[in-house]
């Protein structure tokens, strides 16, 4: 086992930042477990275990998927960037807001484009919310985030990207915890666990809200902010009912394929790929959540 652990650390999380991030991730899950036990709260360990299995497979895949993204990022920054950004505090602040805006827009697209939702729905398919959900995503997703290449195009170096991205990743762990209560006025400006609980809720008024990760600024600017008024019911509008990581990886694609097969005309079938989730070739546009998977 020690040889396996050493191989995993050396090959999957070789950087010190990655190792620290993994340790914090595991430690926060342990803290959640201890607190839930102290509160006599039932912890559905099956979902946590499936999330962890999905996480570690994702880490194995991202050894090469993330590497491909890094190559693309480097090429765009070196040859295509529109202008230079100073390597100082002002540059880091600029990088932060660029990353906030691009990730907001990308997250919005994941929720509003059929094929992208099939990928992203993996993250939303867990019927509970905890730290282990943070890294529950489609395996190899790093290969399908082309909008992120707008960041180096706008002059953000890989060093600035890491300086902003690492704290945002660690903050994302807290966003998926239900232990942190509502924080009053802070919830209206900083993306807090309360705001992100809304994002994972499947009530109609919570769907497609609170896309931000750092500040909640762009949600407020673009009208996608929603406060946590009632306890969210987590998961998909149509729950998939499985803890099997391999099944929930495919569930969104199977749902999309099933919808496409119901259309007789190929133009309608193809529309399912780019129309919002809930679109139907028989009924046209629907209100958010009416037919959302």
The confidence score (pLDDT) of residue 12 equals 54
Alpha carbon 17 to its chain centroid, in Å, reads 20
What is the value of pTM for the model shown?
A: 0.89
Question: Per the domain annotation, does 106 fall within a domain?
Answer: yes
Would you state the pLDDT for residue 290? 40
- What pLDDT was estimated at residue 106? 96
In-domain check, residue 253: no
The pLDDT assigned to 38 comes to: 77
Q: What are phi and psi of 170, to 5 degrees?
A: -65, -40
Residue 190 maps to a domain = yes
Give the mean pLDDT per block of 10 residues along the chain (293 residues): 53 65 83 78 72 89 86 96 95 96 96 96 94 93 88 96 91 91 94 97 96 94 96 95 94 96 95 94 58 43
pLDDT of residue 27: 87
Note whether residue 7 is domain-resident.
no
Contact 227, 188 (CB under 8 A): yes
Q: To 5 degrees, how large is the angle CA 210–CA 242–CA 224?
A: 10
H helices of 80-149, in order, are 89-112, 114-124
Q: Is residue 4 part of a domain?
A: no
Residue 55 is assigned to a structural domain of this protein: yes
Domain count of the chain? 1
Segments forming the whole domain that contains residue 72: 45-222
**264 within a domain of the structure (yes/no):** no
Q: How far apart are CA 33 and CA 41, in angstroms?
A: 9
The answer to whether residues 214 and 225 touch, using CB atoms and an 8 Å cutoff, is no
CA atoms within 13 A on the CB side of 236: 24
Q: Is there a domain that residue 256 lies in?
A: no
């Amino acid at each position: 086992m020690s040889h396996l652990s050493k191989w995993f650390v050396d090959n999957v999380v070789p950087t010190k930042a990655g190792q620290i991030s993994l340790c914090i991730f595991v430690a926060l899950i342990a803290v959640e477990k201890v607190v839930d036990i102290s509160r006599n709260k039932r912890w559905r360990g099956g979902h946590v275990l499936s999330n962890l299995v999905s996480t570690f497979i994702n880490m194995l895949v991202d050894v090469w998927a993330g590497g491909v993204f890094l190559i693309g990022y480097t090429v765009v920054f070196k040859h295509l960037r529109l202008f230079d950004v100073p390597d100082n505090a002002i540059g880091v602040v600029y990088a932060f807001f660029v990353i906030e805006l691009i990730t907001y827009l990308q997250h919005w697209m994941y929720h509003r484009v059929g094929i992208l939702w099939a990928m992203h729905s993996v993250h939303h398919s867990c019927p509970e919310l905890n730290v282990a959900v943070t890294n529950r995503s489609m395996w190899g997703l790093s290969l399908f985030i082309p909008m992120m290449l707008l960041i180096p195009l706008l002059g953000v170096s890989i060093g600035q990207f890491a300086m902003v991205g690492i704290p945002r990743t660690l903050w994302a762990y807290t966003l998926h915890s239900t232990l942190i209560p509502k924080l009053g006025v802070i919830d209206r400006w900083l993306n807090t666990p309360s705001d992100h609980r809304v994002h994972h809720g499947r009530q109609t008024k919570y769907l497609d809200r609170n896309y931000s990760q750092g500040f909640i600024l762009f949600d407020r600017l673009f009208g996608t902010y929603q406060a946590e008024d009632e306890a969210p019911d987590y998961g998909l509008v149509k729950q998939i009912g499985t803890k099997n990581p391999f099944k929930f990886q495919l569930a969104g694609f199977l749902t999309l394929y099933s919808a496409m097969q119901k259309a007789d005309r190929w133009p309608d079938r193809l529309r399912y790929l780019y129309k919002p989730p809930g679109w139907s070739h028989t009924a046209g546009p629907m209100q958010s959540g009416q037919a959302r998977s």
